[in-house]
Amino acid sequence: MKTIASFTVDHDKLEKGMYISRIDGDAVTYDIRMKKPNGGDYLTNGALHTFEHLFATYARNSEYSDSVIYVGPMGCLTGFYLILRDNVSSEQAIRLVQDSFRFVADFSGKIPGSERKECGNYLLHDLDGAKAVAKDMLTVLDGYTAEKLNY
């Protein structure tokens, strides 16, 4: 079988940040690296799960909601995928991620979709952990530009 494109990126050279990993027709996949790959420090399951609920909720309620195809975690526990239609510019995608992460960092209250009937693992949440990751990434993404989106 052919090696998929994301496996051809040297993960030992990746740093925290936001990158365009692929473009398929009108769909743009952004890799949001929240932890350095192979760095020994990974997203915990509870923080990742809570982050997913909050990030997806914010993005799907934003002005770009009709262009959000997917928001979900990376299996390697280093970040998230964000897939958007190409009618969202790179600058708008960066702003959406920054705004989403501010939402997570400042969130208080009941986590959306965290009831047993709404979630397949409703007890696995860590709001404080999600907030800490969001705050850290906001410093990484401060002043981020479209030029930085290239691996």
Q: What pLDDT sits at residue 74? A: 96
Q: What pLDDT sits at residue 105? A: 98
> Residue 52, class by beta-carbon neighbours within 10 Å (0-12 exposed, 13-18 middle, 19+ buried)?
middle
Q: What pLDDT sits at residue 151? A: 83
27-46 exposure pattern, b = at least 16 Cβ within 10 A, e = fewer: ebbbbbbbbbbeeeebbbeb
Cα gap 124→74, rounded to integer Å: 17
What is the side-by-side strand order in the sheet with 68-73? 17-24, 27-33, 79-85, 68-73
Answer yes or no: are the C-beta atoms of 15 and 82 closer than 8 Å: no
- Residue 68 is inside which H or E element, if any? strand 68-73
Cα gap 41→129, rounded to integer Å: 13
| Tens of pLDDT, residue by residue, the chain (151 residues) | 998 878 888 888 899 999 999 999 999 999 999 999 999 999 999 999 999 999 999 999 999 999 999 999 999 999 999 999 999 999 999 999 999 999 999 999 999 999 999 999 999 999 999 999 999 999 999 999 999 999 8
62-92 exposure pattern, b = at least 16 Cβ within 10 A, e = fewer: bebeebbeebebbeebbbbbbbbeeebebeb
User: What structural domains does the chain harbor?
Assistant: 16-139 (3.30.1360.80)
